[in-house]
């Protein structure tokens, strides 16, 4: 099971219906290597080295730094079974970000 915004779910349902995609068929018939190639090419177009895992890490970091609880980032977004894995994954925060959160929490 995955969690996606209702707006995205509605669009996917419409797409599946329009394309007459069967219950056990892939919605987007693309393998990991093809998706990886698309992401690498997009990165080259903007002058950076980009991999699919970078997008996953960015989504998790953005959610975490936007105030999403660690448990949600870990269990729902990243689908980790252990919070400590997520904490390693998100890495360290800068001193300036730590100070910003201290001000936010205790102001």
Closest by CA to 49, choosing from 58, 40, 38, is 40
Q: Where are the domains of the chain?
A: 6-106
CA distance 57 to 23: 31
Task: Write out pLDDT tens, residues 19-32.
Answer: 999 999 999 889 99
Question: Is pLDDT at 82 greater than 80 in this prediction?
Answer: yes
Give the 3-state secondary structure of residue 93.
coil
- Mean of pLDDT over the chain: 88
Quote the pTM value: 0.65
Q: What is the mean pLDDT of residues 54-62?
A: 88
pLDDT tens-digit series, residues 7-22: 999 999 999 999 999 9
**27 near 15, Cβ under 8 Å?**
yes
């Amino acid at each position: 099971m995955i969690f996606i915004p209702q707006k995205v779910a509605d669009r996917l349902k419409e797409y599946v219906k329009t394309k007459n995609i069967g219950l056990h068929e892939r919605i987007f018939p693309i393998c990991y290597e093809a998706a990886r190639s698309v992401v690498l090419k997009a990165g080259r177009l903007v002058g950076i080295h980009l991999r699919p895992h970078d997008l996953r890490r960015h989504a998790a970091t953005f959610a975490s730094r936007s105030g999403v609880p660690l448990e949600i980032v870990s269990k729902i977004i990243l689908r980790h079974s252990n919070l400590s894995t997520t904490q390693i994954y998100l890495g360290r925060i800068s001193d300036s970000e730590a100070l910003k959160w201290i001000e936010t929490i205790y102001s």
